[in-house]
Structure 1
Amino acid sequence: MSENVIIALDVATHQEVSSLLTKIDRKQLYVKVGMELYYQEGPELIKALKNQGHDIFLDLKLHDIPTTVYKAMKGLAKLDVDMVNVHAAGGQKMMRAALEGLDEGTPSGKTRPLCIAVTQLTSTDQALLENDILIHQPLEQVILTYGRKTFEAGLDGVVCSPLEAGKVKEYISKDFLAVTPGIRLKGDDSNDQKRVTTPKQARMLGSDYIVVGRSVTQAPEPSAAYSRVLEEWRNDHE
């Protein structure tokens, strides 16, 4: 296990995945497969990654009527992934349906995937929240309220930025998982994510898992960059 450091495979093809994993050069990783990759390569890629020994966060952010999410999760549970997610904005009935589908679809003798909910994307700031989504509440309060609804629905945790991780735990439960994208090594470009931290800062703020993308996958030496991320994460943990 790579100490809850999840590498985002934000590429489009199985061939690109293989090339990237070769550059990182680790026998086992925790990887995130998102929409771009899954919609093009599908379940066969998931099976291949599992056969190689990797743990998988299948990041599809389901958001639909409860029946549709229930059926989708029932199917995804058969893939033996380790983590899946929904949008908290879909409501508690939808989130409970997601858990029901996962429970029913998980093969006998297996543990169901962790199920977490997206509160707000790390590309969202207060202006976007108000002007585009038409939610006129402070961003932090929206995240905490969505987190509470997620906890009450029985899910395992939320996706949030590291900046909200500790606040989520304080408001909801210390055992409620905070899975945090928006991780950058010092000096890296934040790109389209607006609420970002370093791995060390994320750990100090209360993150249980961090999701790292460009800082590793687009580094000149991905293996060295991954080692640097792990070192920051471990040093604060020890």
Structure 2
Amino acid sequence: MSNEAAREKLIFALDMGRGFDEAMSWVRLLTGHVGLFKVGKEAFTRFGPRLVEEIQKAGSRVFLDLKFHDIPNTVARAAEGAVEMGVAMFNVHALGGMSMMAETAKAVRETARKRELPEPVVLGVTVLTSLNDDDLRALGFSCSTAELVLRLARMARDAGLSGVVASAQDVEAIRKACGEGFAIVTPGIRGSARVAGDDQKRVLTAEEAIRRGSDYLVVGRPIQTAEDPVAAADELCREIARGLTAG
């Protein structure tokens, strides 16, 4: 598997809010070394659509990670805006329910067709990787994280979404339940060394996640905190390539 194919699967989490110029310095540094830049709540709240536009002008693609979760009509209208913004990927919370996800999928298809724009990958967020079984019990759920993830993944598939965001530990079960054409984006990817202050609980390395069947990997701190971020990104691409070969 080529490094280029592996690189398309690597998403860098551009979730720093300290300044627009700093954010764009990461884009300039890592363009050509990662496949997409994830713009989350921190960065988007501070910098807005301008950041998305500048990333696209730099020749890179954007994963808009705002996790829309509201009544169906509101999320569908927000999805239309994401399509018009030209993002390659965005997400909604699967816990918003079947109607919300189905209306979103329909709005994306219709807007892309009317505007003659590419359809973005639309993902359902299952269970945040910062949550484990104890956290779910505290929230009043009677099922495990694995059971809830699978239930939400099936619902997202049936609603017409492109895939889900899920922990690598849940990938094999999702793949079996939802099929090969269902995209799985995995956050919480780490290197062999733990990162100080890490709040993720269900994590795996890049190679392990790809071997289990993840399609895209979201990586933040292991690149941000590395002495040589470019070298760290390139090493993650090599890990992805090894995982693809093994798979």
Query: Counterpart of 2:49?
Result: 43
2:244 is the alignment partner of 1:237: yes
Q: Secondary structure at the match of 2:123?
A: strand
Q: Secondary structure at the match of 2:218?
A: strand
Aligned-residue Cα RMSD (Å) equals 1.6
CA separation in 2, counterparts of 1:207 and 1:93? Answer: 26
Query: Counterpart of 1:11?
Result: 16
Alignment of 1:47-196 (within 5 A): 47-106=53-112, 108-131=115-138, 133-189=139-195, 191-196=198-203
TM-score of the pair, normalised by structure 1: 0.94
Letter matched to residue 3 of structure 1: E
CA separation in 2, counterparts of 1:193 and 1:89? Answer: 20
> By how many angstroms is 1:109 displaced?
2.9
Letter matched to residue 136 of structure 2: L
CA separation in 1, counterparts of 2:219 and 2:234? Answer: 12
Q: Do 1:23 and 1:223's aligned partners in 2 also have CA atoms closer than 8 Å? A: yes
Letter matched to residue 50 of structure 1: Q
Distance 1:43 1:142, change over 3 A: same
CA separation in 1, counterparts of 2:105 and 2:73? Answer: 12
Query: Counterpart of 1:205?
Result: 212
Which residues of structure 1 form unaligned runs of 5+?
A: none
Which residues of structure 2 form unaligned runs of 5+?
A: none
> By how many angstroms is 1:28 displaced?
6.5
Q: Do 2:24 and 2:55's aligned partners in 1 also have CA atoms closer than 8 Å? A: no
Q: Secondary structure at the match of 1:39?
A: helix
Identity %: 35
> By how many angstroms is 1:25 displaced?
6.0
CA separation in 2, counterparts of 1:122 and 1:51? Answer: 32
Letter matched to residue 115 of structure 2: S
> By how many angstroms is 1:104 displaced?
3.2
CA separation in 1, counterparts of 2:83 and 2:211? Answer: 32
Letter matched to residue 10 of structure 1: D
Q: Do 2:9 and 2:35's aligned partners in 1 also have CA atoms closer than 8 Å? A: no
Letter matched to residue 47 of structure 1: E
> By how many angstroms is 1:205 displaced?
0.9
Q: Deviations over 1:44-88 (max 9, x none)?
A: 111111111111110000000001101111112101100010000
